[in-house]
Amino acid sequence: MSAEHRRGVLFALACYGTWGLFPAFWKLVASVPPAEVLAHRVVWSLLAVSVMLNWTRRWDEVFVLLASRRRLLVLAASTLCISVNWLVFIRVVGEGNVLEASMGYFLNPLVNVALGVLVLKERLRPLQWAAVALALAGVVQLAVATGTPPWAALTLAGTFGVYGLLRKRLPVTPLTGLAVETGLLFPLAVAYLAWRMAEGSPVLGGTPALAAALVAGGPVTALPLLWFAAAASRLRYTTLGFFQYMAPTGHFLLAVLAYGESPGLAHLITFGCIWAAIGLYLADNWRQREG
């Protein structure tokens, strides 16, 4: 293994490991309304990204994006997707439903496959079709068993899947894209926070601990993206794909071991179907590479 490959692995572990611990971080601000947490995340993320762009001297990439109306429209759509994704994740974690967040991100790779078929007209091999069908069967049985689909998990998987598709159509570096997205949201976030303060909401959560956590949301959001970019530049994309399951696995372990969430039989069957589907998909990819 070359030195560059080792560095790529370390960056990937840092990135996906941090994402896997996200529920523990956002639980620190569970007492703050989710929309307010989202607004703070936007404000402080933009500040953190601006510092990083200064450090890496990449503001020219942002100006190129801002000069194109078509690119701005695509980024406006991706901004909508990521803001809904962030809001739902913050809400379900704050409500103590980390298992559903985990389910959403385990489903995400399979949603990406479905979007590839529906939007990009990609063709699936038989094992890939079986993987998608198995995951869908797991979600359907959960909906039947509980009387309602896992809306939060489906929203997380769907919004992040569409977000990834939009970014695929408009290749930009993660940091540059986040700068534009948070920049588009910034006026709305500031206006919302100003309105909340006018209504009597405490500034920055009202305590030093909450204030520190809300401000830290900026670098906590931006740094993993910097590590992701560093990993992606050093590793094959297929190699990087194996690391993506670290994040939902971290969510699942936190939910069960740290927060005492107990998945019922219906949830275990759904997770089993999703894990088996992922296994089928990875096995098919491995077989194709070996062939």
Contacts of 55 (CB under 8 A, 6+ apart): none
The C-alpha atoms of residue 75 and residue 239 are separated, in whole angstroms, by 27
**At 241, is the pLDDT very low, low, confident or very high (cuts 50, 70, 90)?**
low
Q: What is the mean pLDDT of the chain?
A: 89
CA-closest candidate to residue 235, choices 11, 1, 8:
8
Does pTM surpass 0.95?
Answer: no
Torsion on CA atoms 66, 87, 251, 92, rounded to nearest 10: -170
- With b for 16 or more beta-carbon neighbours within 10 A and e for fewer, the 189-218 pattern comes to beebbeebeeeeeeebbeeeebbebbbebb
pLDDT at 290 over 70: no
Q: Which stretch of 51-65, 113-127, 132-146, 176-190 has the lowest confidence by average pLDDT?
A: 113-127
- Please provide residue 69's backbone torsions phi and psi, each rounded to the nearest 5 degrees: -65, -40
Query: Which spans in 119-150 are helix H?
Result: 126-146
Does pLDDT of 291 surpass 60?
no
The CA-atom distances, in angstroms, between 102 and each of 23, 131, 234, 252 are: 10, 18, 27, 6
Find the mean pLDDT for residues 64-93.
Answer: 93
